[in-house]
Structure 1
């Protein structure tokens, strides 16, 4: 059962800001030894996130792979639809909705940009976490950018 959900609220309405912030977040959490699963809405977005992680910083290396490639094992996995990793450590939700089985992960992360669809869905997800007794931490990055 999820013990904690973190919301990172970005000041930008640029969807690419979400991906850039995700790379920094994954690097930081991965350095702490966590296994991370990134849930995307579809294969196209999964491949875009995969590319962002490869290009993130020349001096950084974030080992990752798309789920479904059984020949590779890494601490960061990216999937879509019903795909799930074997671990239940960190779940990064880039989908609009949170699936019920995501609540089985130890920690859930939501990266929020200022677009109506993302704001509406993360408000709904917030209520889901709240009704399931999950501790919620808000990280308002808007205060840090100005």
Structure 2
């Protein structure tokens, strides 16, 4: 069964990329993470951000390295990954992916444009028959 979680940045002055790095740091020891991007520049910028995120710990990752614990890619997630953080700006039709279970994470910035995109994505996932969870940050 697929699971979708929306993380809404409401109070803290935090960027989406910073929250994505923090989530990677918390999740990667238990689950493999796929980060999905719409363009190469965003993927490469996140790669640099992840290298610099925490000087006290190493978070192993790579661009299109499907054997890494964390994979950054412009393609939909490989079935061996349990978690996908969608940073593409578009909802994913996870029912068409070859996963039996996938936890999809959407991060919503604290601005009206991001909130509007998230509302549309939320409706899209509901139409797929999946009720997303919402976490306010």
Query: TM-score if structure 2 supplies the norm length?
Result: 0.84
2:23 pairs, out of 13, 16, 25, with: 25
SS of structure 1 residue aligned to 2:117? helix
Matching of residues 37-76 of structure 1 within 5 Å: 37-67=34-64, 69=65, 73-76=67-70
Structure (1 or 2) with the greater helix fraction: 1
Q: Is the 8 A contact 1:13 1:115 kept in 2?
A: no
Q: CA deviation at 1:84?
A: 3.7
Q: Does the 8 Å CA contact 2:95/2:128 hold for their aligned counterparts?
A: no
Instruction: Give the whole-Å Cα distance in 1 for the aligned partners of 2:11 and 2:39.
Output: 23
Q: CA deviation at 1:115?
A: 2.7
Equivalence for 1:140 = 136
Q: CA RMSD in A?
A: 2.3
Distance 1:79 1:102, change over 3 A: farther
Helix, strand or coil for the counterpart of 2:17? helix
User: How many residue pairs get matched?
Assistant: 134
What's the secondary structure of 1:7's corresponding residue?
strand
Asked if the contact 1:96/1:117 (under 8 Å) is kept, the reply is: no
Unpaired stretches in structure 2, ≥5 consecutive residues? none
Note the residue ranges of structure 1 that are not aligned, 5 or more in a row: 142-146
**TM-score, normalised relative to structure 1:** 0.80
